[in-house]
């Protein structure tokens, strides 16, 4: 299955059915198909060969997402570009991935103007919505195709690479993850077999389509479902759309779910259409998850993956959040679910040996979900696949029931007084405190302990806390070794483009403050 095959499958189930919805405008499957034919013809006419990399730089937008299927139909490779990145990072990505064409929204024209002089490989620039001094509009670019623009076109790609996605770049320059049609087919198959889908789904995309929200559209389209696209992440509108569009599926990172739980309109919103509310991309507080099960409904569904093994390394559908008697399964809310049926997951020690059930180590993965490799980076590819498994960089363990628990990122583990302290475990306890909205736990150099545990808190509006009380709160639950020796309260925590707390920035800020004292 290529990317465009999901569109064509949906069209077979109902060409006139709504495919992409934004605001009050619907694009049917037939209309999105026509856009894909036209874009493919345009790329062909511009001399963009099959196998070439075509980038899309846009916030959530129906035409931008429809363009992705034209890229696929032309036999080209989609490179989603994160509009929240700085111009320098996006210029690096466009150059490193050898992009031959860039399709962009006018909102990002100033960024493109800034980058284009440094991108000699770009052969075509196209603005989705309006002409720019240096680029035609999409309509202008597609004009004059002599009646061929709306006829079917299907070019066989030279290999199976469907997209190249950039890693977060939080530990250096972004790497290009080559995801094949087979990778995305495995992801889609796991999604469809692991989570509830009753009837034609309606998927609400608030999170960026350049990330998880985008690839989750593929299984929805394979069922002929509708994708409702939100151009801006506004939670009041998100709730209104759930009710108005009878949304069945959606995805949010934990940070936005925490905000949703505080939203005054949540209780009044009709949510009976919801079948599956995915959460992932960062660890979620077990305490907040239990609150979500009560206030949003028994529809919460976890997914765990990474760019290199998209979305479905392990899965926790709604039913797994409950015991057989219907009570909340508190004992496993901190887990990431069970490994998917098409995925092998192991726990590996530092010597490359798999460890027994219950022991912690690096989470490793293999199977058809795992990427082909990093684009033009064989050294990084080899390092990530040492010992025949893809190394995730996450520390975790598997319990006797097969549930996977992620205890930390390897780079975030703190060694204090000779003991391993997993920051994620401390954060789970901090999130149980009624005044704490979010938290980040890091290690700082300490003469006595080697590293001391430091907790940085973001509080609910109008709340305050006492540092000693917070230390005692954690100590009473997981002991003195793991309790923070230092507690800071910040108005907000630094976050990545997809809402993950950037612990390296938290630690750097604390170190800077320490050196100034």
pLDDT tens-digit readout, 39-92: 999 999 999 999 999 999 999 999 999 999 999 999 999 999 988 888 888 999
Cβ neighbourhood burial of 410 (10 Å; 0-12, 13-18, 19+): middle
Cα–Cα dist 139/126, whole Å: 9
Spatial CA neighbour of 283 closest among 171, 428, 392? 428
Domain boundaries, the chain: 3-182, 234-409, 415-516
pLDDT of residue 342: 94
Confidence of residue 516 (pLDDT cuts 50, 70, 90): confident
Coil, helix or strand for 290?
Answer: helix
- Confidence at residue 156, expressed as pLDDT on a 0 to 100 scale: 84
Q: What backbone phi and psi angles, to 5 degrees, belong to 333? A: -65, -25
Percent of the chain residues past pLDDT 70, beyond the cut: 97
Across 180-194, 254-268, 411-425, which has the greatest mean pLDDT? Answer: 180-194
Give pLDDT, residue 496.
Answer: 74
What superfamily in CATH does domain 415-516 come from?
ANL, C-terminal domain (3.30.300.30)
Structure confidence by residue, pLDDT tens digits, 426-442: 888 898 999 999 999 99
- CB atoms closer than 10 angstroms to residue 335: 24
> Residues 375-392: what's their mean pLDDT?
93
Q: Do domains 234-409 and 415-516 have the same CATH topology?
A: no
Residue 408 confidence (pLDDT) above 90: no
pLDDT for res 477: 86
CATH of 3-182 among 3.20.20.70, 3.30.390.30, 3.30.70.20, 3.40.50.12780: 3.40.50.12780
Going from the C-alpha of 129 to that of each of 34, 59, 62, 112, 293, the distances in angstroms are: 17, 13, 11, 14, 41
Per-residue pLDDT, averaged over 146-171, amounts to 77
277 pLDDT above the threshold of 80? yes
Q: Could you give the CA distance from residue 56 to residue 320 in angstroms, rounded to a whole number?
A: 37
| 88 Cβ neighbours under 8 A, 6+ residues apart | none
Measured between its terminal Cα atoms, the distance across the chain in Å is: 58
Does 231 have pLDDT greater than 60? yes
pLDDT 10s digits, 159-200:
999 999 998 654 467 899 999 999 999 999 999 999 999 999
For residues 294-319, give the mean pLDDT. Answer: 95
Count helices and strands in the chain by DSSP H and E runs: 16, 25
Q: In angstroms, rounded to a whole number, what is the distance separating the alpha carbons of residues 282 and 174? A: 19
Confidence of residue 2 (pLDDT cuts 50, 70, 90): very high
Q: Which CATH code for domain 234-409?
A: 3.40.50.12780
pLDDT for the residue numbered 148 = 62
C-alpha to C-alpha distance for 382 and 388, rounded to whole angstroms: 10
Average pLDDT, the chain: 91
| pLDDT at res. 170 | 46
- Measured in whole angstroms, how far is the alpha carbon of residue 210 from the centre of its chain? 8
In this predicted structure, the answer to whether residue 497 has a pLDDT above a threshold of 80 is: no
Average pLDDT score over residue span 393-421: 84
Q: Is beta strand 419-421 parallel, antiparallel or unpaired with respect to 436-446?
A: unpaired
Residues 123-140: tens digit of each pLDDT: 999 999 999 999 999 999
């Amino acid at each position: 299955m290529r990317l465009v095959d999901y569109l064509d499958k949906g069209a077979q189930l109902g060409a006139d059915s709504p495919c992409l919805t934004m605001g009050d405008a619907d694009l049917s499957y037939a209309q999105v198909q026509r856009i894909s034919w036209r874009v493919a013809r345009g790329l062909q006419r511009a001399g963009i060969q099959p196998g070439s990399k075509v980038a899309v730089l846009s916030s959530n937008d129906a035409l931008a997402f429809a363009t992705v299927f034209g890229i696929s139909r032309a036999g080209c490779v989609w490179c989603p570009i994160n509009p929240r990145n700085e111009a320098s990072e996006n210029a690096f990505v466009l150059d490193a991935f050898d992009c031959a064409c860039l399709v962009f929204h006018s909102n990002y024209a100033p960024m493109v103007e800034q980058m284009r002089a440094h991108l000699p490989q770009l052969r075509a620039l196209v603005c989705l919505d309006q002409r720019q001094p240096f680029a035609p509009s999409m309509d202008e670019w597609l004009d004059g195709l002599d009646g061929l623009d709306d006829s079917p076109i299907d070019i066989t790609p030279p290999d199976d690479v469907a997209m190249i996605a950039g890693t977060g770049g939080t530990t250096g320059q972004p790497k290009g993850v080559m995801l094949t049609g087979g990778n995305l087919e495995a992801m889609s198959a796991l999604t469809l077999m692991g989570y509830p889908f009753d009837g034609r789904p309606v998927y609400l995309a608030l999170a960026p389509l350049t990330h998880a929200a985008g690839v989750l559209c593929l299984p929805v389209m394979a069922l002929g479902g509708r994708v409702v696209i939100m151009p801006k992440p506004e939670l009041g509108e998100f709730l209104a759309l759930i009710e108005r569009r009878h949304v069945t599926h959606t995805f949010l990172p934990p940070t936005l779910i925490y905000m949703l739980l505080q939203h005054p309109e949540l209780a009044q919103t009709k949510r009976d259409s919801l079948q599956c509310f995915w959460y992932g991309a960062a660890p979620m507080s077990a305490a907040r998850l239990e609150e979500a099960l009560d206030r949003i409904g028994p529809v919460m569904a976890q997914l765990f993956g990474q760019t290199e093994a998209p979305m479905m390394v392990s899965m926790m559908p709604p039913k797994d959040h409950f015991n057989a008697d219907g009570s909340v399964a508190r004992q496993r809310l901190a887990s990431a679910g069970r490994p998917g049926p098409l995925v092998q997951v192991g726990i590996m020690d530092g010597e490359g040996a798999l460890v027994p059930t219950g022991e912690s180590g690096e989470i490793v993965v293999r199977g058809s979900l795992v990427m082909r490799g990093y684009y033009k980076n064989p050294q990084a590819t080899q390092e990530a696949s040492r010992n025949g498994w893809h190394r995730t960089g996450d520390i975790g363990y598997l319990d006797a029931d097969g549930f996977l628990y992620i205890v930390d990122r390897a780079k975030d583990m703190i060694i204090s007084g000779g003991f391993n302290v997993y920051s994620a475990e401390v954060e789970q306890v901090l999130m149980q405190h009624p005044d704490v909205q979010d938290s980040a736990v890091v290690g700082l150099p300490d003469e006595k302990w080697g590293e001391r545990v430091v907790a940085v808190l973001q509080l609910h509006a109008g709340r305050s806390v006492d540092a000693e009380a917070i230390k005692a709160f954690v100590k009473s639950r997981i002991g003195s070794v793991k309790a923070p020796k230092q507690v800071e309260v910040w108005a907000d925590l630094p976050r990545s483009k997809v809402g993950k707390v950037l612990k390296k920035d938290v630690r750097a800020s604390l170190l800077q403050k320490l050196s100034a004292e």
